[in-house]
Amino acid sequence: MANPVILSVDDDPAVSRAVARDLRRRYGDRYRVVRASSGPEALEALREIKLRGEQVALLLADYRMPEMTGIEFLEAAMDLFPVARRVLLTAYADTGAAIDAINLVDLDHYLLKPWHPPEEKLYPVVDSLLETWSTSPDAGTTEIRVVGHRWSAESFAIRDFLARNLVPYRWLLVDDPEAGRLLAAAGVSADDVPLVVTADGKALVAPTEAELAGLVGLTVTPAADFYDLVVVGGGPAGLGAAVYGASEGLRTVLVERQATGGQAGQSSRIENYLGFPDGVSGAQLTDRARRQALKFGAELLSTREVIGLTEAGSARLLRFSDGQTLAAHSVVLATGVAYRMLDAPGLADFTGRGVFYGSAASEAPSCIGEDVYIVGGANSAGQAAVYFSRYARRVHLLIRGADLTTSMSRYLIDQLDRVEQVTVHPYTEVVGGAGGEHLQQLTLRDSRTGAQRDVDASWLFVFIGAAPRTGWLDGTLVRDERGFVITGPDLVSGGRRPPGWSLPRDPYHLESSVPGVFAAGDVRAESVKRVASAVGEGAMAVSLVHRYLETQ
């Protein structure tokens, strides 16, 4: 297998030679360094690399180039090598323009020229990006192919699972010639899809998420029966708890029912998270947190649904949906929330076939040249609107109120104002949907006048409200009327501790009504629904776990 490629493109010959020289000096023994003098030339080189079945680990492009800017090149290169890390080279005078253009391409970093000495200004950045890439190698060697029908909810579920778990794959419609060959080789017909085929030829028809997880190398079985800490839920709060628990010496396992990252992991770009002035995609943030947790020794279990929690002396026992159990000294509940279903006649039948809950970023390339409708007025809806505007002809943001100021961050409102393809529709509700094989029409209502109108629509993405994933805790923990877990001082009323509380002290700040069981992030009653606060609560929960364990 040939060494992976690092490609740099710059129209200035002196700069181009300097980039290649510095890269070869440090990485030439492990990577093949290729340089180009223009965007079109670089794209042609990438096409040849793709045809040879080689991998591209890193792309570095100058911002100002004739014919094609660095941003335009990186955006085009994403179609050929979507997993390759992307860096923009820019002069100081162009920094502002480069930052403004970051939302057009999922940029990993930008470097100011010159970067001397490279040991301080270049290599640390490249080292980090290559390490990130090495944990999710390009689809050229580990390519998974998914064959299915365009408007199949089952096919969408598989693609969404792979995308959210950062697994590269290639999507083939059943009428594609290559799909026909794969179906014939697997001995199945087009009626039997979805079909998943690995690089080594192993084929699975309509696999479950657990089967899919095993197929792509995700861990589904715990290495032990007993842990110091079990974290339930892999969103920002859960990942934060896993990182801090494992780094502080606790034997830690994180259990996730579908994919790490939670709702934040589906976000196209988070721009108000501390330490990322240029923004970071939810997938990037999730990937870094996962690798960090694994580095410290935490176990991450996928496709394991927890359905029960009981006390067993000093241990806390968790029961999985398959009947297996897992015990620990302490538990952090970080199950987050789910978007509420849109209660409008006719829509339920189209879930996964035109109606999607959350961003469903895997569907964006299919929206090219079409109208996309988004329901919701909070940050998640705004981020999705910006993201889909890169593909759709027009994005319609439907909100119930007069404007976005009461529910969306100011920076995101300003950003939407600058995107011509996005139209905000105030006082607008979806009251119906219709179609055949997939969603084809929406009925919208003006909440002020009651007037209704029908619009042609094949794409509806819903971001409304938040329902906590706590039904499985019914009768076990004290929750509020909406299902959020009540913790700490809120459990103590009139000097009386919660029913069944067995300790002589009051519950710690994030502790639930069961000693040793803590809640962090969106699932906790009265929590601040932001990524930064969720991570902070995950870390705080671990410090309280230590305090709890010291008294046992």
- Among candidates 277, 274, 289, which has minimal Cα distance to 240? 289
Report the alpha-carbon distance of residue 386 to residue 414 in Å, rounded: 11
Please check whether residue 281 is in contact with residue 386, taking contact to mean a CB–CB distance below 8 angstroms.
no
DSSP H helices in 333-421: 379-388, 410-417
Assess whether 401 and 291 both reside in one domain. no
329, 237: one domain: yes
How many whole angstroms separate alpha carbon 277 and alpha carbon 76?
A: 24
359: in domain:
yes
The per-residue pLDDT for range 444-472, each reduced to its tens digit, is: 999 999 999 999 999 999 999 778 989 99
Pick from 337, 350, 183, 344: nearest CA to 262 = 337
- DSSP letter (8 states) at residue 280: B
DSSP 482-509: TSPBP-GGGG-BTTBPPTT--SSSPPPT
Task: Say if 472 falls within a structural domain.
Answer: yes
User: Are both 390 and 481 inside the same structural domain?
Assistant: no
pLDDT higher at 150 or 520: 520
Dig out the tokens for 89 from the structure. Answer: 């080279």
Q: Are residues 407 and 478 in the same domain?
A: no
Q: Which of 462, 487, 509 is the last residue of a domain?
A: 462
Which tens digits make up the pLDDT trace of 52-75? Answer: 768 899 999 998 888 888 888 988
Predicted pLDDT at 165: 86
Largest alpha-carbon pair distance within the chain? Answer: 76
Q: Among positive and negative, which fits the CA dihedral 211, 217, 222, 223?
A: positive
Write down which residue in 215, 240, 255 finishes a domain: 215
Domain that holds residue 162: 143-215
- Tell me the CA end-to-end span of the chain in Å, nearest whole number: 54
Domain at 18, CATH number: 3.40.50.2300
Segment (H or E) for 58: strand 56-62
- Checking if the pLDDT of 406 tops 80, the result is yes
Which pTM value belongs to this model? 0.76
Checking if the pLDDT of 99 tops 70, the result is no
Single out the residue of 341, 248, 242, 332 nearest to residue 293, CA to CA: 242
- Both 237 and 326 in a single domain? yes
Average pLDDT over residues 417-435: 96
Q: How many domains does the chain have?
A: 4
173 and 209 part of one domain: yes
303 class by beta-carbon count within 10 Å (0-12 exposed, 13-18 middle, 19+ buried)? buried
476 plus 506 within the same structural domain = yes
Q: What percent of the chain has pLDDT over 90?
A: 61
Q: What percent of the chain has pLDDT over 70?
A: 96
Average pLDDT of span 130-155: 77
Whether residues 203 and 161 fall in one domain: yes
pLDDT given at position 98: 62
Residues 6+ away with beta carbon under 8 Å from 347:
355, 430, 432, 433, 439, 460
Structure-model confidence comparison of residues 404 and 134, the more confident one: 404
Helices 410-417 and 379-388, interaxial angle, to 10°?
30
Q: Which of 462, 493, 528 is the last residue of a domain?
A: 462
Does residue 172 contact residue 97 with C-beta atoms inside 8 Å?
A: no
Q: How confident is the model at residue 138 (pLDDT cuts 50, 70, 90)?
A: very low
